Structures are given as structure tokens and as C-alpha cells.
Amino acid sequence: MELHVRYEGDDDPEKCSARKLARFDLATLHRSARSTPSGIVLDPYADRALSPDDERDADSDRAGSHGRLVALDCSWETAEAEAFKLDGPHRSLPFLVAANPVNYGTPFQLNTVEAFAGALCILGHRDRAEEILGKFRWGHTFLELNDEPLRRYADCSDSTEVVEIQSEYLDD
């Protein structure tokens, strides 16, 4: 699965997980929405949760997103407006906890590599998630913190089931 990043460049380059992925040729950075290919857009403001069903849709290419995940790397203040400029089905990630040093332990505040890794696990590509997280000292911690929910989300048949499981974690 190809990983593409609409890169705004408004964060600390030393802490930017998207730039590190690009340095290792694990993701492609794009400086404009027009140059960013369509794919399943990881959008924290999307109305529908990512589910394994989205992988089946991408595989059949109904959404024009065959084998691509697209993330937006920008500040949280501009994320909503910038995300609307990206083509493809927009999907939010369900409840996951950040393991990166900046947002450790904070639900829903994932950096780009964590968002990709969470999405890859949900879509059945856990080996690829481990590969990209392996470039970060704390990467394995993300999978450890989120092991149970990621496995449960990956077993869902659709977005509705993902949201039901997410509710269990939010109720706790």
C-alpha cells in the first residue's frame, strides 16, 4: 500500500514523522493538494470511521484510491480546512492513543506515522505498520499501547462496527 503525505511544512522538521518516512522512501511528500494523488484520506474530521471495508473498496478501485493512503501533515489548527482539499474517501481513525514523545498517552492526537500505522493495522497490513514504526525509537510502543483496539478494529466488517467498539473504549 502506497503512503502519500500532503505536507504543509508548518511543524518542527526535527520532529516531523512524515519527513522521516520520506527520507527512508516509505512515503511520498506532496507540497500541494493538486499533486497529491487520490486515496483513502485519513481525516480526523471525517464522518465515517476507517474499517477493513475501505480496503475492499480500494481493492476494487470503486473510490479511485487503489492501494493508497493519504495523510495530511500540518498543524491541528489548519487540519480541517486543508483536509477538504484532498481527493478520495475521507475516513477518521477510531480511538487510538499516541505514543510519540510530544503527545504520549493522548487519545486521538496521533502524528503522521502513527496515523498511517493505525490505518495499516485496521486494513490488515500490520507488517507494513511495524516496518514504518521501526524507524522510530518509540514506534513499538504505539503498537503495544493500541494492540487490543487495533486487533478488534481489524476484525470489524464495516465502519458501524468500528464505531461500536470505539464506544466501549470511550465509555471507560
d(Cα 132, Cα 36) in Å, to the nearest integer? Answer: 20
Q: Confirm or deny that 93 is annotated as ligand binding.
A: yes
Nearest to 13 by CA among 73, 97, 83: 73
Phi (first) and psi of residue 9, to 5 degrees: 75, 25
SS3 71: strand
Annotated binding residue at 86? no
Is 120 flagged in the annotation as binding? no
Look up residue 2 and give its three cell numbers. Answer: 502506497
Q: Phi then psi for 29, rounded to 5 degrees? A: -90, 145
Annotated binding residue at 3? no
Q: Tally Cβ neighbours within 10 Å of residue 24.
A: 11
Can you read off the three cell numbers belonging to residue 95? 480511538
Binding residue numbers: 17, 72, 93, 112
Binding residue numbers for S-adenosyl-L-methionine: 17, 72, 93, 112
